[in-house]
Chains A and B, each alone.
Chain A
């Protein structure tokens, strides 16, 4: 189960014709899939498309009614392979993932799919994780679309345009026998907007029918000589068919303007930013009117040469707004204009930066440069857009650089992965620093303060294999980290099995928090939860042993820092041969709290005895060294003024957000730190015997304390 419930959003998926949907972009896509008669949906979770997966996982009954098969695929490769169902059968299928990370994983299947071509519409919903908020390398999906000849849709970032792109995407795919990618940037996925719905419809060709009446055509299989024919087919049939559909249905949009000697060609996703930039110059308004003509590429691949040449013809200069690099569209446009013998000047990456997100601020600067060069008179008449330059040049604002601290993402309060890295820190204090190969997942936060552990990250589940070169005899062994998400995504084969087969000597630390936690807490094979639509509870340890792992230590409570430390120390020092696996398991605290907190409150309300734990610091015992924080970094463990003029440094303090995970006490203990921590067990609904005992204890202890306190001399 995901960390967020989508019960309300599921109701939005039921909306019928004429009703208005209000909500997030990626959920509008989900609704659009159902309206398009999709037969099956798959994908791999990850921001910014996790919600598409999560809402469908919560919408099992709607899917059953429509006969839609939904899978939370093991990886993007598995998801892409699922589209094979649309090769022979007129069934629409959609898959989704975070790109380009996921597209990289999916490439093998995508290439094969694109070569043989499809019968039913095959739509790949791409969460383009680029710019602010992204968690991956900054690349473009565009290159993948071009290399495999998959059409790329990049609709304007409003819900009606996005929904239309889904519907046209399927039709375009079917008409041209080509898979289609629908690219949505981070903010477009999360944009709140509205559109008018249509009724959901079931796939006209049910999956069951395909199984009962199987079809085959060896011409669609990627094997010579068919593969040679596929390439010719791509060029001679599928491309022209796509161009025809795109033109006939007006997928790209031209917005006329009165200043018709210049123009802008832009990716659909850039539309709102470009319009805002124009509006700030007084050249457009908030209702979509523009004085500068725009040609909006809702389809960025293939480009329609004739349309582009026609838009440019008669203009002195045209600006291409194409986010990211390389500048594929701009380069193609140069060729298009050259071939069509159109003399229009083309501006693009000379006015705008080659790399990085095109924020409105960047677009304003780019537009200014374009106008300066090609329409200086217009620029003189235009308004001056607001600017923060003056504010940012102010000494008082510059001074902030000294005080505002960086705040990278980190482990949540009570995160079970924190004690793992506390333990690793303690082991490294004993045995020296080690080479640590990191992986993708929440555990990658170990690279940030206070732990600063981890050297490289090569991709999801690739931690163990990224330490492969270091499997040589040395005084110190390499350590590789892999999360449970990465383990099932890719790590079992490429990391675990690979390490066993190649007789690695290093340590593999498997961080098991019961979920694919970084992507929103989705279930995976080793999840402990009862999930009616999935088979869970497959222990990682069994998988490791199943592929030949022999030295395996399992820690079922990562908060036992001393045990964690001892297991890691043993793994690093044992004489045993072969890879040493340490599986560190404890449930993701976000998910645990989401489940336990309401249950706890309900039980207390029912009058059942419950104990709430939290930690505290005796501020008069704390000396303000903060060693505890250097081994923790928990958001609820902070520092505050001591209130004692003799104590200059702030003392540790634990705030109300503490969930009582126990790490503080364990670390103080394992690291031999200081006795200022205490754990408080607050008992709710104590029974009469317990209350009596407590009263008795309190009285006796109180008497002792009072005896001493009364005699204590004080200066008050």
Chain B
């Protein structure tokens, strides 16, 4: 074609940084620009700051090109899906979002991602486990990129006493996706001149992490099996409980039972642990290998949790242990000798106070408006307790000492009654409908927390279990209970649960002949 304008084949390198506001994505973009400019390249970066950056997902985009004399390149202000050379994601789900935006192309894009999770509010606010599974992102990242480099850059940066942008810059150097040597990267950090030492440590660690990824994390620890502490007689008693566990229960449930045993010995005593085994044994008697002893394992978990109900004594016990002090000091990074004050936030209500009284007295207070007012006034306000001072520590220490009396307290009586009622129900159903019994066991997960939260959990548990009256004899009863439980875990007020219950109620009221017609 005569007169055709010759087109140059030069192509810029495009780098997209996807991050959350406040992660330092801008710093990383600035470093990349400086790196390119220092090498004599032409670089352009853009971003979309503003309110959008306040902790929300945001994107920075850099293009760079080796210059031609006297000519200014025309670079894009936005990444073109399918045409990006490097994508740097400062969080795992943001890597997923970049893939969803089409920024990662097989055979083209180097994807560098920090594998750590910064959970979105919608993930962490659910009463149950609302966390999204990053495995899907891992799968897509591996399949869709030319090169996928991943490591927990947040942890790497923290260990180096620096920020994630430095670790990611190191990983970018290691990827060899940009035509600049490692020394040039490091020089860029030095010239920028802010927190240079820490940044260079994080840079090096980020570099190494993607060159030689760390080995897989250690396998989860074995279930506890060694009696420790206490008197010889106590240890012997506990050893007997362990023998009983091994002898009487199917192997499939052993690990969970050991965890349960450990929890209950820690919570109360070995006698209590034996009570636990008694209760689980009644369920195990209804179980079989064909079901892989799922009922027993679930009972081992749920009964242990139910029996170690969270009361004031338990909290006081956990907060006054020597190990707890050390854990707090480590968590806040205190040096030895450095004073660390710890303030606890307690707000027991009248209900909790009564529950901690001996059963008779507790009921008397609950029955008497005068006593209620008196005790209520004493506990109307929240307590802040300094557990690093004796005046704060000793009262809690004494409350923790009430452990030996726990069986005589009002709360214990109520918990035992609740437990018995629930397990009786489970046992009754297990013979006819194994799946339903299993689901009923799992429903105990709804009961957790303190004060209002606990009351709400008990309420939801009651509602789900109560739905049985509508589901009686239905083949899909187990499935309905599962759905109800999941609905109960979806929101705090139980709106989803109430909706689901309304549906269940209609199941029962629809006469059989109409149901036939509907089918």
A residues neighboring B (CB under 8 Å): 22, 46-48, 50, 129, 132-135, 157-158, 160, 186-188, 190-193, 257-258, 271-273, 275-276, 279-280, 282-291, 359-361, 364, 385-389, 391-392, 394, 396-397, 399-413, 442, 445, 448-450, 518, 611, 614, 616, 618, 620-621, 623-627, 629-630, 633, 635, 637-639, 644-650, 656, 665, 668-675, 677-684, 686, 690-691, 694-695, 697-698, 700-702, 704-706, 708-716
Q: Are A716 and B48 in contact (CB under 8 A)?
A: no
Contact status of A191 and B270, CB under 8 A, knowing A638-B124, A650-B131, A680-B332: no
The distance from the CB of B328 to the nearest CB of chain A, in whole angstroms, is 6
Structural contact, B349 and A672, CB atoms closer than 8 A: yes
Residue of B nearest to A415 (CB): B54
Contact with A along B78-111 (1 / 0, CB 8 A): 1111110000000001101101111111101000
Expressed in whole angstroms, the minimum distance between the Cβ of B386 and any Cβ of chain A is: 9
Residues of B within 8 A of A385 (CB): 80, 82-83
Residues of chain A lying within 8 A (CB to CB) of residue B99:
391, 397, 400
Contact of B82 (CB < 8 Å), options: A192, A388, A645: A388
Instruction: With A400-B137, A618-B318, A715-B228 as known contacts, state yes or no: A639 contacts B46, CB within 8 Å.
Output: no
- How far is it, in angstroms, between the C-alpha of A620 and the C-alpha of B5 when the chains are bound? 72
CB distance from B15 to the nearest CB of A (A): 13
Q: List 27 A-B contacts (CB under 8 A).
A: A192-B33, A258-B3, A286-B75, A287-B71, A289-B6, A361-B80, A388-B103, A389-B102, A391-B144, A394-B144, A399-B140, A400-B99, A413-B22, A621-B310, A645-B223, A645-B256, A645-B259, A645-B301, A669-B384, A678-B342, A680-B328, A680-B332, A694-B339, A702-B322, A708-B400, A714-B224, A715-B261
Q: A288 to B393, alpha carbons, bound, how many Å? A: 74
Closest 5 CB pairs of A and B: A388-B102, A133-B48, A47-B50, A713-B230, A409-B56
**Interchain CB contact under 8 A, A649 and B82:** no
Residues of chain A contacted by B324 (CB below 8 angstroms): 618
Across-interface contacts of A675 in B (CB, < 8 A)? 315, 319, 344-347, 450
- The CA-CA distance from A708 to B396 in the complex, in Å, is 13
Does B74 lie within 8 Å of A715, measured CB to CB? no
Contact A618 B74, CB 8 Å, known A449-B122, A682-B340, A712-B230: no
Residues of A within 8 A of B494 (CB): none
Give A438 to B12 CA distance when docked, in angstroms: 45
A276 to chain B: closest residue by CB: B76
CB proximity of A178 to chain B, nearest CB, Å: 29
State how many angstroms separate the Cβ of A293 from the closest Cβ of chain B: 10
Q: Does B328 contact A678, Cβ atoms closer than 8 Å?
A: yes
Annotate B340-365 by CB proximity to A: 1 below 8 A, 0 otherwise: 11111111010000000000000000
- Cα distance A329–B78 in the bound complex, in angstroms: 24
Chain B interface residue count, Cβ-Cβ cutoff 8 angstroms:
161
| A656 contact set on B, CB distance < 8 A | 158
Q: When chains A and B are docked, how far (Å) is the Cα of A157 from the Cα of B45?
A: 12
A230 to B132, CA, bound (A): 63
- Whole-angstrom CA separation of A534 from B9 in the bound complex: 55
| Given A361-B81, A645-B256, A668-B345, A518-B51 contact (CB < 8 Å) | yes
Contact with A along B42-57 (1 / 0, CB 8 A): 0111111111111111
A635 touches B339 (CB 8 A): no
CA A674 to CA B344, docked complex, whole Å: 10
Cβ-defined contact, B139 with A387, below 8 A: no
Cβ B301 vs Cβ A646 within 8 A: yes
B337: Cβ under 8 A from any A Cβ:
yes
Q: How far does the alpha carbon of A712 sit from the alpha carbon of B46 in the complex, in Å? A: 61
A412-B342 CB under 8 A given contacts A403-B96, A403-B134: no
**A646 with B339: CB separation less than 8 A:** no
B17 within 8 A of A: no
How far does the Cβ of A608 sit from chain B's closest Cβ, in whole Å?
Answer: 15
The answer, yes or no, to whether B120 is at the interface (CB within 8 Å) is yes
A-B contact count (CB 8 A): 449
Which chain A positions have C-beta within 8 A of B234?
713
Q: Which residues of the partner chain B approach A400 to less than 8 Å between Cβ atoms?
A: 96, 99-100, 136-137, 140
Distance, CA A630 to CA B126, complexed state (A): 8
**Do A714 and B265 touch across chains, with their CB atoms under 8 A apart?**
yes
**Counting chain B CB atoms within 10 Å of each CB, which of A273, A638, A670 scores highest?**
A638
Q: Quick check: is B248 within 8 A (CB to CB) of the other chain?
A: no
Residue among A135, A276, A450, A691 making CB contact with B337, cutoff 8 Å: A691
A389 CA to B139 CA in the complex, in Å? 18
Chain B residue numbers with a CB within 8 Å of A48 are 49-50
B residues near A397, Cβ cutoff 8 Å: 99-100, 140, 144
- Answer whether residue B238 sits at the interface, using C-beta atoms and an 8 A cutoff: yes
- Provide the bound-state CA to CA distance between A128 and B399, in Å: 64
Do the beta carbons of B55 and A635 come within 8 Å of each other?
A: yes
A288 to B8, CA, bound (A): 10
Per-residue CB contact flags for chain B residues 1-29 toward chain A (1 = under 8 Å, else 0) read: 10111111111100000001110000000
- Contacting pair B55 A411 (CB below 8 A): yes
- Which residues does chain B contribute within 8 Å of A50, judged by CB atoms? 50
**CA–CA, A191 and B8, complex, Å:** 24
On chain A, the residues within 8 Å of B118 by CB distance are 635, 638
Is B123 an interface position by the 8 A CB rule? yes
Q: Is the CB of A450 within 8 A of B144?
A: no
Whether the pair A404, B93 counts as a contact (CB closer than 8 A) is yes
CA distance A445 to B319 in the complex (A): 36
Task: Determine the chain A residues whose CB is within 8 A of the CB of B499 once the complex forms.
Answer: none
Does B305 interact with chain A (Cβ within 8 Å)? Answer: yes
Is A289 in contact with B8, judged by CB distance below 8 angstroms? yes
Tell me whether A625 and B8 are in contact in the complex, defined as CB-CB below 8 angstroms, given that A288-B72, A360-B80 are known contacts. no
Query: Which single residue of chain A is at the shortest CB-CB distance from B46?
Result: A187
> Given the complex of chains A and B, what is the CA–CA distance between A94 and B15 in angstroms?
35
Residues of B within 8 A of A701 (CB): 325, 388, 390, 393
- Is the CB–CB distance between A672 and B452 below 8 Å? yes
Closest B residue, CB atoms, query A362:
B78
Closest CB in chain A relative to B143 CB, distance in Å = 5
Residue of B nearest to A693 (CB): B339
Of chain A, the residue at the smallest CB distance from B304 is A646
Asked if B80 contacts A289 (CB within 8 A), the reply is no
A190 vs B46: C-alpha distance when bound (angstroms): 5
Using known A-B contacts A404-B97, A407-B56, determine if residue A650 contacts B129 with beta carbons closer than 8 Å. yes
Tell me, in angstroms, the Cα distance from A500 to B198 when the chains sit together: 56
A672 touches B265 (CB 8 A): no
Q: Decide if B372 is an interface residue (CB 8 Å cutoff).
A: no
User: Are B137's CB and A190's CB within 8 A?
Assistant: no
Q: Find out whether the CB atom of A633 lies under 8 angstroms from the CB atom of B45.
A: no
- Say whether A679 contacts B56, CB under 8 Å: no
Question: Is the Cβ of B7 less than 8 Å from the Cβ of A285?
Answer: yes
* Contact (Cβ within 8 A) B227 A403: no
Kindly list chain B residues whose C-beta atoms are within 8 Å of the C-beta of A283: 7
Residues of A within 8 A of B235 (CB): 713
CB within 8 A of A158: which of B47, B72, B144?
A: B72
Known: A135-B51, A271-B74, A626-B124. 19 other contacts (CB 8 A): A190-B48, A192-B33, A258-B1, A276-B76, A285-B8, A286-B65, A290-B5, A410-B54, A410-B55, A410-B121, A518-B51, A646-B304, A649-B129, A665-B345, A669-B384, A683-B338, A701-B388, A712-B230, A713-B265
Docked CA distance A639–B119 (Å)? 8
B5 shortest CB reach to chain A, Å: 5
Contacts of B119 in A (CB 8 A): 405, 638-639
Residues of B within 8 A of A193 (CB): 44
A540 to chain B, nearest CB (A): 22
Judge whether A705 and B322 touch: CB under 8 Å.
yes
In the complex, residue of chain B having the shortest beta-carbon distance to the beta carbon of A683: B339
User: Which partner residue on chain B sits nearest A630 by CB separation?
Assistant: B125
Nearest-Cβ distance from residue B93 to partner chain A, whole angstroms:
5
Complex interface: chain B residues within 8 A of A670 (CB): 382
Contact status A396-B54, CB under 8 Å: no
- The answer to whether B133 has its CB under 8 Å from any CB of chain A is yes
CB closest chain-B residue, reference A671: B452
* Measured CA separation A611–B338 after assembly (Å): 11
Contact check, A409 vs B55: say whether CB atoms are below 8 A apart: yes
Please tell me which one of the listed residues B52, B139, B223, B346 contacts residue A133 in the complex, with CB atoms under 8 A apart.
B52
In the assembled complex, B188 has its CB within 8 A of some CB on chain A: no
